[in-house]
Structure 1
Amino acid sequence: MSGNTDPIQPPKRQRCVVITGASSGIGRASADAFARMGWHVIGTGRDEERCRDAAGQIAAVAANDGRVDFLRGDFTEMRDVLRVACEIGALADHVDVLINNAGGVRDGQYRTSEGLEATFAANHLAPFLLTRELMPLLERAAGERPPGLVRVIAVSSAGHAACQGMRWYDLNMDTAFDANAAYCQAKLANLLFARELDRRVRDRGVISLAMHPGRVASNFASHADEKMQAWMAANASVSPEQPARTLVWLATAVELGGMGGRYFHELAEEQPAPQALDDAAAAKLWTESERMLDRILATTD
């Protein structure tokens, strides 16, 4: 008999992270960090030129055969979310971490081509739909890793506390619209979704976490009203790299594997407002979100 009888080890699988809103700000800083760790980074962004520039610059710092792909998509449009999800499936056969970061605040009431209020669409329904569509890829990754290492992370906001509860009679804010109230409701929806998602998928090896990034020096408020932009300009802010450190920690820290459904800020757990811990509201929001998407997608097939 010859030679080496040691069993042949399969090649180490490259980890894959999907980051929405990755062409600038927190998402861009997070994508940069994952690329430096040698991950396969799939980023999304609204602007084609910014996506192209980000892809090139992040790929230039990628280490250990790190791979970078960028997809352009308008996350106020659910059809675009479905297209992006399909394109992600063509780029990767598994997803270890999904970071639902894209979102923002608007300066008024905008309706999408599908009849949705743009703030609720981009900040809540888009991540809800993208997560649903990518769940088979997340579960495939979970089947190959110890429990709790495959994660879905929601970027929410302390602004969720300003919303006393979901506007069940009018989630789409068809009446009595207020731009900042719409944003705060969407950020509360992020936390309720993260909570209900964790309840539903934890047993499949996937956990759901949420975080508050703080006031960040980015283009977050570029479409906000003058009052919001003035408030952002007048108050101290942190660089995108600071909350990106928390996002990378939430994505990779082994000790967080049993802490699904939790809310974090600056590398530490925080207690969200009581309305974000309402399990009945979380379950109801899931049902209402499914109903809204079913109605929209039934008319766009």
Structure 2
Amino acid sequence: MSKFNPQTDIPSLTGKVAIVTGGNRGIGYHITLELARHGATVYLAARSESAAKDAIRQMDEELEAAARGRVKFLHLDLSTIKGAKSSAEHFLTLEGQLDILVHNAAVLGHNYGLNSEGIEDTMATNHLAPFAFTQVVLPLLEKTSKSADVRVVALSSYMYKKAPKGGKLLTVEEINDALGPPASINTLSSMQLRYSRSKLANLLFTRHLQEHFKSIGSTALAISVNPGDVATESVLDFVRPLPLIGGLAAWALKAYMFTPAQGAYTALFAATSPTVRENVDTYGGSYLIPFGKVETFVGDGANDELVTQFWDASARIVDGVLSS
């Protein structure tokens, strides 16, 4: 079990402002809960206002009286780039600082399809929309970092290692590749490849963002994390429909995988631990595995040239959508 205990090891976050995407359920719920418990004002960014407000009510029941009311709803639809940009622009009208940004929301086991902007759904939701959101709030992150400890955390996965080799990330045509023949684009293998590609994207994103912060002299940190094997409802919903073994598989996952609360530990460590700030050269731009251990990049995750190419490609794709 982790040596990092969110209950005791997170310092006071009083006066800090955080955003957690997908904070209404699973890992994101527990990230949001602990940030608020320790004093931060937390914007729970989600598409469904009713689901978000239900989660906020539940959090208020778990929090001590002094911490209630710290979690606020921010509408965020990551299914489109334009929707993400609009949400970020709205946030800028609400706050004059941003200390912690956690990109947690993601889709898993998604059937192949293009969104209304012509982008493959998994890459749009898991990377390009969060990228667009970050672009809008980036000046605020940089401004806040002049006087505060600013961190951007993206939840990646060990699955990034299974992404197609050579990127398949640099053009709309590559991103829209279903990664399987037409007859099998919605099979488990093709879904996993598309998810893996998006998780590689998360890692490359934080690597370049850290380089950007360093290049402008900002002390802000960008870190990607693997939360571990977590029995979230999204994972369980994915396996339950499997023929014959779905029910048994869901039971086994709940028995042997981390709980969502445990799945939040590594992201919370990255977002709040004083150890991270005290060891910037170790943690800045790193990839963490449970619970806060730095793991060496492998495969395309270690491709320094791809880090820059992919950031530039993401910017071109996002700009193209926003200008259309």
Per-residue deviation at 1:157? 0.4
Aligned length: 285
Instruction: Tell me the TM-score normalised to structure 2 length.
Output: 0.81
Distance in 2, matches of 1:107 and 1:100, equals 18
SS at match of 2:18: strand
- Structure 1, 134-143 or 163-172: larger mean CA deviation: 163-172
Does 1:206 find its partner at 2:220?
yes
Cα separation, partners in 2 of 1:232 and 1:294, compared to 1, 3 Å: farther
1:121-200 superposed matches below 5 A: 121-145=124-148, 149-163=149-163, 164-168=165-169, 170-173=174-177, 176=180, 177=185, 178-200=190-212
Counterpart for residue 290 of structure 1? 315
- Structure 1, 209-218 or 63-72: larger mean CA deviation: 63-72
Distance in 2, matches of 1:119 and 1:109, equals 8
Query: Which one-letter code corresponds to 1:151 in the other structure?
Result: R
SS at match of 2:93: helix
8 Å contact 1:44–1:70 — kept in the other structure? yes
Counterpart of 1:247 (choices 264, 267, 288) is: 267
SS at match of 1:250: helix
Structure 2 unaligned segments of length 5 or more: list them.
Answer: 1-12
Identity %: 29
- Give per-residue Cα distances to partners, 1:21-43, cap 9 Å, x unaligned: 10100110010001111110011
1:33-182 superposed matches below 5 A: 33-60=34-61, 61=63, 63=66, 67-145=70-148, 149-163=149-163, 164-168=165-169, 170-173=174-177, 176=180, 177=185, 178-182=190-194
Per-residue deviation at 1:48? 2.3
Distance in 2, matches of 1:284 and 1:204, equals 22
- Structure 1, 233-242 or 275-284: larger mean CA deviation: 233-242
Query: Which one-letter code corresponds to 1:272 in the other structure?
Result: F
SS at match of 1:91: coil
Counterpart for residue 7 of structure 1? none
SS at match of 1:54: helix
Counterpart for residue 14 of structure 1? 15
8 Å contact 1:39–1:66 — kept in the other structure? no
RMSD: 2.3
8 Å contact 1:160–1:185 — kept in the other structure? yes
Distance in 2, matches of 1:199 and 1:66, equals 36
Cα separation, partners in 2 of 1:110 and 1:71, compared to 1, 3 Å: same
- Structure 1, 162-171 or 63-72: larger mean CA deviation: 63-72
Per-residue deviation at 1:208? 0.6
- Flag as ranges the 4+ runs of structure 1 deviating above 6 A: none
8 Å contact 1:35–1:59 — kept in the other structure? no
- Give per-residue Cα distances to partners, 1:52-85, cap 9 Å, x unaligned: 1112232441645762111232201112101210
Distance in 1, matches of 2:75 and 2:144, equals 24
Query: Which one-letter code corresponds to 1:134 in the other structure?
Result: V
- Give per-residue Cα distances to partners, 1:239-285, cap 9 Å, x unaligned: 11112122222111222131211011222212232320211001010
Distance in 1, matches of 2:57 and 2:160, equals 35
Does 1:262 find its partner at 2:286?
yes
Structure 1 unaligned segments of length 5 or more: list them.
Answer: 1-11
8 Å contact 2:42–2:70 — kept in the other structure? yes
SS at match of 2:235: coil
Distance in 2, matches of 1:142 and 1:298, equals 30
Distance in 1, matches of 2:92 and 2:285, equals 26
Counterpart for residue 5 of structure 1? none
Per-residue deviation at 1:216? 1.4
Query: Which one-letter code corresponds to 1:201 in the other structure?
Result: F
Counterpart for residue 5 of structure 2? none
Distance in 2, matches of 1:59 and 1:85, equals 25
Counterpart for residue 219 of structure 1? 233
Per-residue deviation at 1:234? 4.2
8 Å contact 1:46–1:72 — kept in the other structure? yes
